[in-house]
């Protein structure tokens, strides 16, 4: 039974004057119950309790943090199908997808638990004392990563489980030892409440201070600003629109003491089709690209929104077949009425750009009552693309733009003119790739992940993943929001000089009781200090 309340330190808050309801994009129906909005006073209270909890949780042994993450996963599973049903009604995402996303969410929590338990992520470094060194002795220096303090996490609309209340940002922030305050996304408040309940139960079961976690319902811009401006907030993680992400970044940068905001915002995920690949497996690329563009109704940050090729009969045939495939692809329910409206406005904007041709639109008319977005492909040429900044903007939904260029050097020129991207993809034969070094190099400058002969959707959660990229893909290209390296966003080094062993954390003791890989006098080793 949902109560529609925010949680601070384990307890639901009282009713408030302002409420809102979730609306199912499947039907347009208002879903019960009403959700109670909170404001700056509750943000303040959540942060004060988080800061108090941090004095304990920030020093909790790794095993305690790992156990919490695993317990959260167990409690999410214990919510059973009710969670998936509610998420389905709130987001319109199919149950099969949500079942997979729940698996990913619980898997992420487990992955961070394992990372924390193994422990080497903390980058322990020891330089032992050299008391007889001339002209000056060297003191004993030991350094490791420590948590930052309370972290604000903004639930994203398109991953109601994997990038929301107990998603990747929360998991990585908790793993590093930080309390988390989640701003629930207004599109799936019931899903958020259920998962928050699971986290609250896990925190209690692990005998951790309840202030380690809070989840607040509130108005997006107002609460977002309050969270990143609060003096006790030390960092924030966000996935969403460029406008909202930039607003949070700007508010954080303008603080008396600026804090990092990791916003993952906008990406067109360009795909480059080289001649050999188009000659040899055009049909396969048509099918794969259509799936990648339309998967999840095009609502992935890694959806390919730009497809470049060299003009000529092969590319023309590819374009025809791809347009045909998009015509047969059915519309699907988008996450919210607002996203659906923005999608259609985006299509209108693109269509009005001179030199843009509507190549293919789904044969099935979208049903507005079902918040449908329909597969669409437009086309233009390289010169027009370069001259029209509008075409460089993301349209969130099942849309992509084909761009034909006169020759290979133009593809390189196009790559260099792109804004920052999460991903860039090349399809090519071995011969194509052998000659595409310049293009590869240009794309590595513009994107965080380069995909060869594959598609950018389907982001693997693993140590080698980098889900980040130059602005506007993210506000900080040096960090990832997916994969175990995401923990690095929420930690800072602390160096301890000449501390007695009794005051050192286990990670920095001579004996290396945790068996970490450490950098001792410049050598990576799991050995104890000699």
Considering only residues 106 to 165 of the shown chain, the ones binding a second copy according to CB under 8 A are 114, 120, 125-127, 135-136, 138-139, 141-143, 146, 148-149
Residue 304 CB-density burial (10 A; 0-12 exposed, 13-18 middle, 19+ buried)? buried
Map the footprint of a second copy across residues 232-291, applying CB under 8 A: 249-250, 253-254, 256-258, 260
Alpha-carbon distance values, 465 to 5, 200, 422, 480, 509 (Å): 36, 30, 11, 8, 31
472 preceded by a cis bond (ω within 30 of 0) = yes
| 501 binding a second copy? (CB under 8 A) | no
Helix/strand/coil (H/E/C) assignment for every residue in 238-250: EECCHHHHHHHHH
Under a CB-based contact definition with an 8 Å cutoff, are residues 339 and 397 in contact?
A: yes
Binding segment for a second copy among 35-43, 201-209, 317-325, 489-497 (CB under 8 A)?
489-497
Map the footprint of a second copy across residues 38-57, applying CB under 8 A: 55
| 449 binding a second copy? (CB under 8 A) | yes
| 417 binding a second copy? (CB under 8 A) | no
Q: Is 301 a catalytic residue?
A: yes
135 preceded by a cis bond (ω within 30 of 0) = yes
CB of 249 to a second copy, least distance (A): 7
Nearer to a second copy, 33 or 470 (CB): 470
Binding segment for a second copy among 86-94, 176-184, 338-346, 464-472 (CB under 8 A)?
464-472
Longest dimension (CA), the chain: 81
Q: Is 462 a catalytic residue?
A: no
Nearer to a second copy, 135 or 354 (CB): 135
Query: Residue from 203, 451, 486, 487 that binds a second copy (CB under 8 A)?
Result: 451
Binding segment for a second copy among 82-90, 297-305, 361-369, 491-499 (CB under 8 A)?
491-499
Query: Residue from 460, 515, 527, 528 that binds a second copy (CB under 8 A)?
Result: 460
Query: Residue from 475, 487, 507, 512 that binds a second copy (CB under 8 A)?
Result: 475
Nearer to a second copy, 40 or 529 (CB): 529
| 476 binding a second copy? (CB under 8 A) | yes
Query: Residue from 406, 492, 513, 527 that binds a second copy (CB under 8 A)?
Result: 492
Choose, from 75, 193, 264, 374, the residue flagged as catalytic: 264
Residue with token string 């175990």:
484
Nearest residue to 520 via CA among 18, 65, 120, 21: 120
Map the footprint of a second copy across residues 285-314, applying CB under 8 A: none
Under a CB-based contact definition with an 8 Å cutoff, are residues 439 and 284 in contact?
A: no
- Alpha carbon distance 261, 162 (integer Å): 19
CB neighbours of 293 closer than 8 A, spacing ≥ 6?
303, 304, 305, 326, 375, 377, 398, 399, 400
CB of 206 to a second copy, least distance (A): 21
CB of 193 to a second copy, least distance (A): 29
- Alpha carbon distance 270, 80 (integer Å): 38
| 497 binding a second copy? (CB under 8 A) | yes
Under a CB-based contact definition with an 8 Å cutoff, are residues 68 and 199 in contact?
A: no
- Alpha carbon distance 424, 345 (integer Å): 25
Choose, from 42, 90, 101, 301, the residue flagged as catalytic: 301
Site string for a second copy, 510-529 (x = CB under 8 A): -------x-x--x-x-----
Active site positions, annotated:
264, 301
């Amino acid at each position: 039974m949902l109560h529609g309340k925010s949680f601070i330190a384990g307890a639901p808050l009282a009713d408030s004057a302002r409420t809102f309801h979730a609306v199912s994009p499947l039907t347009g129906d208002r879903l019960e119950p009403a959700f109670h909005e909170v404001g700056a006073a509750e943000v303040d209270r959540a942060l004060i309790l988080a800061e108090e909890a941090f004095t304990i949780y920030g020093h909790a042994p790794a095993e305690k943090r790992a156990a919490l993450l695993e317990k959260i996963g167990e409690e999410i599973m214990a919510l059973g199908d009710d969670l998936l049903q509610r998420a389905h009604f709130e987001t319109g995402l199919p149950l099969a997808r949500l079942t997979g996303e729940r698996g990913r969410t619980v898997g992420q929590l487990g992955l961070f638990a394992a990372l924390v338990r193994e422990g080497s992520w903390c980058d322990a470094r020891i330089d032992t004392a050299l008391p007889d060194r001339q002209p000056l002795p060297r003191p004993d220096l030991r350094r490791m990563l420590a948590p930052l303090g309370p972290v604000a996490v903004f639930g994203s609309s398109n991953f109601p489980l994997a990038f929301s209340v107990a998603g990747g940002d929360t998991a990585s922030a908790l793993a590093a030892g930080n309390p988390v305050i989640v701003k629930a996304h207004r599109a799936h408040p019931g899903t958020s409440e259920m998962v928050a309940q699971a986290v609250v139960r896990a925190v209690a079961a692990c005998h951790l201070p309840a202030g380690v976690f809070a989840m607040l319902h509130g108005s997006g811009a107002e609460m977002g600003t309050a969270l990143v401006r609060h003096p006790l907030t030390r960092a924030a993680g966000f996935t969403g629109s460029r406008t909202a992400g930039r607003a949070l970044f700007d508010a954080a940068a303008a603080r008396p003491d600026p804090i990092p905001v990791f916003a993952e915002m906008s990406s067109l995920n360009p795909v480059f089709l080289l001649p050999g690949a188009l000659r040899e497996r055009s049909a396969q690329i048509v099918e794969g690209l259509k799936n990648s563009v339309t998967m999840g109704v095009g609502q992935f940050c890694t959806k390919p929104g730009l497809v470049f090729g060299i003009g000529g009969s092969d590319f023309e045939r590819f374009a025809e077949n791809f347009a045909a495939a998009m015509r047969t692809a059915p519309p699907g329910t988008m996450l919210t009425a607002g996203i659906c409206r923005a999608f259609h406005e985006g299509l209108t904007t693109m269509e009005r750009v001179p030199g843009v041709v509507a190549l293919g639109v789904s044969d099935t008319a979208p049903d507005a009552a079902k918040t449908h977005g329909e597969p669409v492909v437009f086309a233009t040429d390289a010169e027009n693309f370069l001259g029209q900044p509008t075409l460089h903007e993301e349209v969130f939904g099942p849309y992509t733009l084909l761009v034909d260029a006169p020759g290979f050097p133009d593809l390189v020129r196009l790559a260099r003119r792109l804004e920052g991207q999460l991903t860039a993809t090349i399809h090519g034969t071995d011969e194509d790739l052998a000659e595409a070094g310049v293009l590869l190099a240009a794309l590595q400058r513009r994107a965080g992940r380069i995909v060869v002969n594959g598609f950018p959707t389907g982001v693997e959660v693993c140590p080698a993943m980098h889900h980040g990229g130059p602005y506007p893909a993210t506000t900080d290209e040096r960090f990832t929001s997916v994969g175990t390296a995401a923990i690095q966003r929420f930690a800072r080094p602390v160096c301890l000089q000449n501390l007695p062993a009794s005051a050192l954390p286990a990670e920095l003791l001579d004996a290396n009781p945790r068996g970490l890989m450490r950098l001792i006098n410049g050598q990576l080793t799991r050995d104890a200090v000699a």
